[in-house]
Chain A
Amino acid sequence: QKEVEQNSGPLSVPEGAIASLNCTYSDRGSQSFFWYRQYSGKSPELIMSIYSNGDKEDGRFTAQLNKASQYVSLLIRDSQPSDSATYLCAVIPNTGGFKTIFGAGTRLFVKA
């Protein structure tokens, strides 16, 4: 079982729609969760972090965490073509270290 799992996609949504990206993780003791965005040919950049159960909103982005289900999601409202990228779910597992484990990423296409 992979430590962080995501649907590789591609996920295609029309402009203005809500894009929903999902992620599951295996270490039940994990406490820190992140979503990174990676444009083609570029390095990842952090867009959201979440540490507690529930929703966290930042502009058009909402991260959702359910530790009981070991599930993290990212919602992008009013999707724009500029949101087209690969979204990487990342987790810091409760292994006593500081390493961040990344999922394989979900490719998102927003059609104009």
Chain B
Amino acid sequence: SAVISQKPSRDICQRGTSLTIQCQVDSQVTMMFWYRQQPGQSLTLIATANQGSEATYESGFVIDKFPISRPNLTFSTLTVSNMSPEDSSIYLCSVEVAGGATNEKLFFGSGTQLSVL
């Protein structure tokens, strides 16, 4: 299993500003994922963050808007840049824990509830 600490848990931000979300894992993991969950909707993958290489972004998400850092195997940050009200959402980091009977199991952080005014 993995214990993930994500912060901040929530924030209210002004339009045009940026917010950096931090994700700390209690063990070394190869792959970390950043998801967005808009109200009443499911999780949409933003990007995959690998240590030592550039993050891989999904269609519709770009590095200038969502820069990601992955300095080591236990930590990652996601920045939401130049925010607009459309960025209001829950942002979740997750890690994949492979091996055993449940390969590719995802563990999630507690999420960051972002509101942009």
Contact = CB atoms under 8 A, between A and B. Distances in A.
A complexed with B: yes
B45 A32 contact: no
B48 A102 contact: no
A104 B41 contact: yes
Interface in A35-86: 36, 42-46, 49, 51
A80 B107 CA distance: 24
Interface string B34-73: 0000000111110010000000101000000000000000
Given A49-B105, A99-B45, A103-B42, A43 B92 contact: yes
A36 B42 CA distance: 11
Q: Which of under 10, 10 to 19, 20 to 34, or 35 or more describes the interface residues of B?
A: 20 to 34
B110 interface: yes
Nearest to B113: A41
B38 to A, nearest CB: 11
A100 interface: yes
B42 A43 contact: no
A100 B106 contact: yes
20 contacts: A32-B104, A34-B104, A34-B105, A34-B106, A42-B110, A43-B92, A43-B108, A43-B109, A46-B102, A46-B107, A49-B102, A92-B104, A97-B48, A99-B48, A99-B58, A100-B33, A100-B45, A100-B104, A100-B106, A105-B42
Interface of B: 31, 33, 41-45, 48, 56, 58, 92, 96, 102-111
Contacts of B45: 99-101
A25 to B, nearest CB: 13
B48 A45 contact: no
Given A49-B102, A99-B45, A100-B106, 18 more contacts: A34-B104, A34-B105, A36-B106, A42-B110, A43-B108, A44-B43, A44-B106, A44-B108, A45-B108, A46-B107, A51-B103, A88-B42, A92-B104, A97-B48, A97-B56, A98-B104, A100-B104, A102-B43
